[in-house]
Structure 1
Amino acid sequence: MIRLLLADDQALVRGALSALLALEPDLEVVAEVGSGDAVLDAVREHRPDVALLDVEMPGLNGIAAAAAVRAEFPDVRILIVTTFGRPGYLRRALQAGASGFVVKDTPAAELADAVRRVYAGLRVVDPALATDSLIAGESPLTAREAEVLQAARDGSSVAAIARKLFLSEGTVRNHLSSAIGKTGAGNRAEAVLIADGNGWL
């Protein structure tokens, strides 16, 4: 029996995934959580074989949660199951130690097969997303540029971003300017949209 942990902030999606996977004779859902912050504690308590993680969740996102799980429990396999099939997410998830990456519209039988393959030590990646990832390439942004764009996502002023990130306003302006240039955007709001759309944030 393959023991599963499901992490998704949408209760309806989490429940549907649980119900679908529970129909498989060799799969057992042993824990469900609704935030990235709860993933590591659930792994400690329930010791799943495979953790199915959404990317965008409150607290830790699924990629950060994957890295935390892999650091403490390297034998637990990670399968990212997300609505957001963005090339940058795929690349970052694999770098964080995920063994697989599929989108939520994957048919139930294929999802169950992906779980089995990941459990067996294989890598499973949505083929269309893998192609898109190769075409898109790596993020051109530095870690600090991505952090500044992330902080600018809600329309915060340069001063507010500087306070939040403990940077000078000049440094924030420089990072924003660089990020705008690297993304080919016309302004920082557009740079956020482009970076977000590619999964770089």
Structure 2
Amino acid sequence: MKAYTKPFFAIFFILIADQVLKFWIKLNMSLGQEYKIIGDWAIIHFTENNGMAFGMEFGGEAGKLALTLFRIVAVLGIGYGLVYMIKRKYHRGLIMNLSLIFAGAMGNIIDSTFYGVIFSESSYYEPAKFLPAEGGYSSLFHGKVVDMFYVPIIQGTYPAWFPFWGGQELIFFRPVFNLADSAISIGVIMILIYQKRYFKEEKEEEVYTHSEVVEE
């Protein structure tokens, strides 16, 4: 059980932090409302999306349902893989990063699955209500994902000679995201950066095990 402690604690912490922040945003901020944390470089900006991470969209009500169901199937697969890796004693870094991805996926699934049922519609005039008497703004599996982090650390204008966007406004980073998105991104990036280290250890373990079997 000790091998499960750190990954499960990380998952629990990220899920709780993600949902507490989203609940606070929904119940205390109207759509488009924002608070500047570090000047114009780090802003809490409340927005919602019907689709994927970082505000990307995916085709209407049917697409929304398909995306939510796909997320659920995917997170079940990730959860199975995580338990498998823990049992097989894979590299701790790989397990921890997969835990981040799992927690982030779960965080956004909660929004997509339940928020339409438990919250009233957020508007540009007032915050949402929790468990409103008239019912939620949508049905099960059709909730909107809450986003709030906006970090336009580079702002300006593309040079006139720049292909396609010459003379247009330049903002980096433009998408608004949430804690769950951050956990997924960090997990994926860390796996890509350290993949050789993670999987080299597994290959060496396989070779060692195979040699033991041959000797026997």
Q: Which structure has more RCO (C-alpha within 8 Å, separation ≥ 6)?
A: 2
TM-score over 0.5 (shorter chain): no
With the shorter chain as reference, the TM-score category is under 0.3
Which has the greater radius of gyration?
Answer: 2
Give the TM-score of the pair, scaled to structure 1. 0.21
